[in-house]
Amino acid sequence: MGKISLRFCRLQISLAKLLAAQFFVLMVPVPTYGYVCNVPNEWFRGLNNTRAHTANGALWPNGVVKYTLHSSLSNRDRVTIWKAFTEFHEKTCIRFQPRQNGDPDFTEILTDDDVCGLAEVCKIGGYQFTKFGQGCRNVETMIHELGHTLCLYHEQQRKDRDEYLSFQGCPQQEILPIEEDGQDTSTLGLYDYASQMHYQCGFCDGGWPRSPSVTKCGDDATTGLSLLDADNLNRIYNCQGCFRHRWKKMEQLTSQDRKNVHSFGYKNSFGYLYPCRALVNGEIAVGKYSRSRRVCSVSNQGKLYELKHGAEVLTIPGGRTQRGATYKLVRSGSVSPNYLVANAVNAGRLNEAEGGAQTFIAYATLRKGFWHKEDVIGKVATFEGELGNAKFSVGERELASENYFVLTCT
């Protein structure tokens, strides 16, 4: 469902029209509240097989979504939809393919000016729809609705959302409920204010961020799929090749996961170093994980955080090379910035105050005097396609270096 403000939507839609549309489309009991722009998931209750993120049969096989385009779509709409597809094609292994004769399960993409956006959650079998309408016929709404089609729920309805959002002062009926079903809490990743599946903040349905460093959510914060949206889809659909890396909760690493963490030979006095990341002050901060100490060290605004919980560690199932896809470190000066930006493993995100740019994993050996050297892991951000200096936390300080390695996959 779209993420435009409630008030706008309510002005647009009469209750009678809303109920008529709802009855016609979904044929479920009339809820006591509801809005077309931000349809509560109650609308989907009663539809079989649509609840679980990853229930058998609810995912699209091999991540291939068959679609048809309704004849009512304008050329401009078609370009918008194509741009949304491109986001998925570039950042995940999801593929949108035109329905061929005999494809039983498919989604029809269409406009409907009675809604901002609307789609069933997951593959429901046979015909389903993905729609966007008046005032919302844009790339972000289409990405959001296609996210539902692919089995993503609203980020602000996660079980742990109350740790991240406040709904103080909101009438109960305006607060979207936590999704009780279909959420495997153990696989929830870092909370993502910037997800396209998050409503805009500053309204009762999107909530108010508890982190003072965050004021924007959803398409206010991000164009396209967010980093964590892409990670989420790549995990749910078990994407392979250069999409096979997985970020695992530090405290839940299994022995198999530990085999899949990779040091790339980086070692300091505490042992080998592995990349980790955590949500700190609105930043998805990348840093180093010490296996021996079981601590993720990240820096944010010049301050060092040593985390024992809530951080994620990078694992690369299948090893560094699998079926021609190889993860490796590339020296910053040895290739063009464009090459690095195109092939670097996306890992983190700067906070709003720093522009919200994506960050990659940077490795460096920092030297102090002749004898002392320290291997570190930090972050490097991209600004308008160029890479800046990489930043590393060392002790209580943050150091910048133009000589570093970037973790890439080709």
Q: Which residue's CB comes closest to Zn ion?
A: 1
Beta bridge partners of 311: none
- DSSP state for residue 199 in the 8-state scheme: P
Q: Which of 145, 179, 352, 374 is catalytic?
A: 145
Whole-angstrom distance, CA of residue 31 vs CA of residue 27 = 11
| Catalytic residue check, 145 | yes
For Zn ion, the closer of residues 146 and 387 by Cβ is 146
For 28-63, letters b (16+ CB in 10 Å) and e give: eeeeeebbbbbbbbbbbeebeebbbbeeeebbbeeb
CB of 1 to Zn ion, least distance (A): 3
CB of 246 to Zn ion, least distance (A): 25
CB of 84 to Zn ion, least distance (A): 14
CB of 219 to Zn ion, least distance (A): 11
* Helical H segments across 152-226, by residue range: none
H or E, element range at 365 = strand 358-368
Whole-angstrom distance, CA of residue 405 vs CA of residue 330 = 5
Should residue 176 be labelled a site residue for Zn ion when binding is judged by CB under 5 A?
A: no
- DSSP state for residue 153 in the 8-state scheme: -
Residues 30-69: x/- map of binding to Zn ion (CB under 5 A)?
----------------------------------------
For Zn ion, the closer of residues 178 and 400 by Cβ is 178
Whole-angstrom distance, CA of residue 167 vs CA of residue 175 = 7
Whole-angstrom distance, CA of residue 102 vs CA of residue 114 = 31
For Zn ion, the closer of residues 38 and 359 by Cβ is 38
Whole-angstrom distance, CA of residue 320 vs CA of residue 327 = 5
Total Cβ atoms within 10 A of residue 266: 19
CA 313, distance to chain mean position in Å, is 16
The response to whether 144 counts as a known ligand-binding position is yes
The response to whether 148 counts as a known ligand-binding position is yes
For Zn ion, the closer of residues 1 and 146 by Cβ is 1
Strand pairing category for 283-290 and 64-69 = unpaired
Should residue 1 be labelled a site residue for Zn ion when binding is judged by CB under 5 A?
A: yes
* Helical H segments across 290-374, by residue range: 337-343
Residues 249-288: x/- map of binding to Zn ion (CB under 5 A)?
----------------------------------------
Quick one: which of 280, 54, 52, 11 has its CA closest to 179? Answer: 52
Residues 100-129: x/- map of binding to Zn ion (CB under 5 A)?
------------------------------
For Zn ion, the closer of residues 123 and 246 by Cβ is 123
Q: How many residues bind Zn ion (CB under 5 A)?
A: 1
The response to whether 154 counts as a known ligand-binding position is yes
Whole-angstrom distance, CA of residue 293 vs CA of residue 306 = 10
CB of 74 to Zn ion, least distance (A): 23
For Zn ion, the closer of residues 223 and 403 by Cβ is 223
CB of 25 to Zn ion, least distance (A): 15
Whole-angstrom distance, CA of residue 33 vs CA of residue 368 = 64
For Zn ion, the closer of residues 2 and 348 by Cβ is 2
Q: Which stretch binds Zn ion (CB under 5 A): 1-9, 187-195, 311-319, 376-384?
A: 1-9
289 close to 276: Cβ distance less than 8 angstroms: yes
Counts of helices then strands in the chain (DSSP H, E): 7, 23
**Coarse DSSP helix, strand, coil percentages of the chain, rounded to the nearest 5 percent:** 25, 30, 45
CB of 323 to Zn ion, least distance (A): 35
- Give the residue numbers of the binding site: 144, 148, 154
Binding residues for Zn(2+): 144, 148, 154
Active site residues: 145
Binding site residues, Zn ion, CB under 5 A: 1
